[in-house]
Structure 1
Amino acid sequence: MKKLLMFFILSTAFVSGSTINIAVAANVSYAIDELIAEFNKTHKDTKVKVTLGSSGKLTAQIKHGAPYHLFMAANMKFPQSLYDDKIAKGAPVVYALGSLAILSKEQKDMSKGIELLKSDKIDKIAIANPKTAPYGTAAMEAFENAGVYKDIKNKLIFAESISQTVSFTITAADIGLIAKSSLYSKTMLKYKQNINWVEVDAKLYTPIEQGIVMIENDRETKAFYEFILSKSAKDIFRKYGYLVP
């Protein structure tokens, strides 16, 4: 019943042909408002409604009929599964490359990098759930490749999405592995590189290729899809710490 109610609410968003509903991976939450504002400079009559969440949960919603027009995922796996199931209109395309950062609200010796997590002074480490959030998968891969997992596995606390991981990191945890992009939001600028945060060595995890697919192929959706792959959008992604293809 709850699922039907959710789908009904989402469906009512489509009464106007100039409204598109997009499912967006949580790590993009820090950049999406600026992306939409830039898009609306040339598409003033198109309203873009955003639903944020972990890529796994958004994929499940889409497969159960949630009426999204477009999906911006945190990896290629989930949008590829939609294409394989003949739900997406076309194969996924990489729109940005995400990266991991270690963050602490307190000053730490960030020169140690991921080895810092083994410290006896760190009891709780926040990461996104690796079952549903690609950034969580990348964090687990980094732990394994750095040889620290056995030492820290009992310290891990799991968040539903990468945005919730940020919340856990600055409240309940001592430290966390977050999306680097989150550090460029206005509320996070007080945390300083090499004092509160440091990038995770990119050699420790598979590059986080973030994929986009269209679920519908109407004119407004195509326009937003093409915008996300444009130079203007890439400039915004760079501003928020992403690499772009």
Structure 2
Amino acid sequence: MKSWMIVGLLACPAMAHAAELEFRAAGSLKTAMSEVIGQYQQQVDVDINAQFAPSGLLRKRIEQGEQVDLYASANMKHPNTLHAANQAGPVVEFAGNNLCALAQQSVEVDSNNLLAVMLNQKIRLGTSTPKADPAGDYAWQLFNRAESVQQGAEAALQSKALQLTGGENSAKPPKGRNPYGWVMGEQQADLFLTYCTNAVLAQKEVPSLKIIKVPSELAVGATYGLTLVNDYHKEAAGLAMFILSSQGQAILAKYGFETRAE
């Protein structure tokens, strides 16, 4: 990681307090970051309270005064908004992801006909909730790209999309279940747009699900941002640096995230 990025990340004030480190991260990071935290705690004696949820809802909680030390978002917009409001330091890009489609076994779909299948009125298309969850925002970006392929596609996809996850009022899966594996296992959608990393985890729970690569003309990439929130725990910078280190990046890469070379 370039030195200017490291200096920028540490630009907001730290607070030397004894409470546990409060870490908030996008739900799509849960499995990978849980391992990152475990590895870090083998090296540093620090209590970490990690909570995972849609990035937009986490940002709202920080804006409303929740004590958070380190925030990892599935987009750059939410942490940059906190930085612009002087609530957090500069934002560093630390990982990337892409959208894939999860499909029920009965749906005849591949990359070549994905758009036609999504537009089929008989197909229930699931997404996360825009604004609350960046995965929903990225789905809407895909809909926008679809407009350049087929006129009227954007409005049609927006109107039929079932916003099943990531919102404040979205149904919660049973404890320990992958939200997308649960939604698809419960037959709430025929096709669901989510991060490719989420799709892999969902397929592990529901092996019958198919993962469809989004064709290049529709492809949307996700950029993940990391920031230290003002008055952060003294060890939060250490955890941030570990996430950016070769060891932290290797763990993220193992779970399918695109990582940034040092």
TM-score when scaled to structure 1?
A: 0.82
- What secondary structure, in the 3-state scheme, does the structure 2 residue paired with 1:110 have? coil
**1:28 maps to amino acid:** L
Which position in structure 1 is the counterpart of 2:193? 177
Matches within 5 A, 1:45-64: 45-64=45-64
Count of residue correspondences: 225
Of 222, 232, 236, the residue aligned with 2:237 is: 222
Q: Name the CA distance, whole Å, in 2 between partners of 1:197 and 1:207.
A: 16
Which position in structure 2 is the counterpart of 1:33? 34
Which position in structure 1 is the counterpart of 2:85? 85
**Over aligned residues, Cα RMSD in angstroms?**
2.5
Which position in structure 1 is the counterpart of 2:100? 101
CA deviations on 1:81-131 (whole Å, 9 max, x unpaired) are 11111111x200001012111002324322423332123541x21111112
Of 201, 204, 225, the residue aligned with 1:211 is: 225
Compared CA separation, residues 226 and 145, structure 1 to 2 (3 A): same
Of 187, 203, 210, the residue aligned with 1:188 is: 203
TM-score when scaled to structure 2?
A: 0.77
Q: CA deviation at 1:220?
A: 1.1
Compared CA separation, residues 95 and 29, structure 1 to 2 (3 A): same
Q: CA deviation at 1:32?
A: 2.0
Q: Name the CA distance, whole Å, in 2 between partners of 1:176 and 1:158.
A: 10
1:156 aligns with 2:161: yes
Check whether the contact 2:21–2:233 (CA below 8 A) recurs between aligned residues: no
CA deviations on 1:194-225 (whole Å, 9 max, x unpaired) are x7012223553553111010114433111111
CA deviations on 1:39-72 (whole Å, 9 max, x unpaired) are 12212x2122112211111111111110011100
**Percent pairwise identity:** 22
Of 195, 213, 223, the residue aligned with 1:199 is: 213
**2:39 maps to amino acid:** E
Which position in structure 2 is the counterpart of 1:74? 74
Q: CA deviation at 1:173?
A: 1.2
Check whether the contact 1:138–1:205 (CA below 8 A) recurs between aligned residues: no
- What secondary structure, in the 3-state scheme, does the structure 1 residue paired with 2:193 have? strand
Q: Name the CA distance, whole Å, in 2 between partners of 1:149 and 1:74.
A: 23
> Could you tell which deviates more after superposition, 104-113 or 58-67?
104-113
Q: CA deviation at 1:164?
A: 4.2
Q: Name the CA distance, whole Å, in 2 between partners of 1:85 and 1:129.
A: 24
Check whether the contact 2:100–2:212 (CA below 8 A) recurs between aligned residues: yes
Of 218, 228, 236, the residue aligned with 2:251 is: 236
**2:96 maps to amino acid:** L
Unaligned runs of 5+ in 2: 1-16, 148-152, 168-177
Unaligned runs of 5+ in 1: 1-15
1:42 aligns with 2:43: yes
Higher relative contact order (CA 8 A, sep 6+): 2
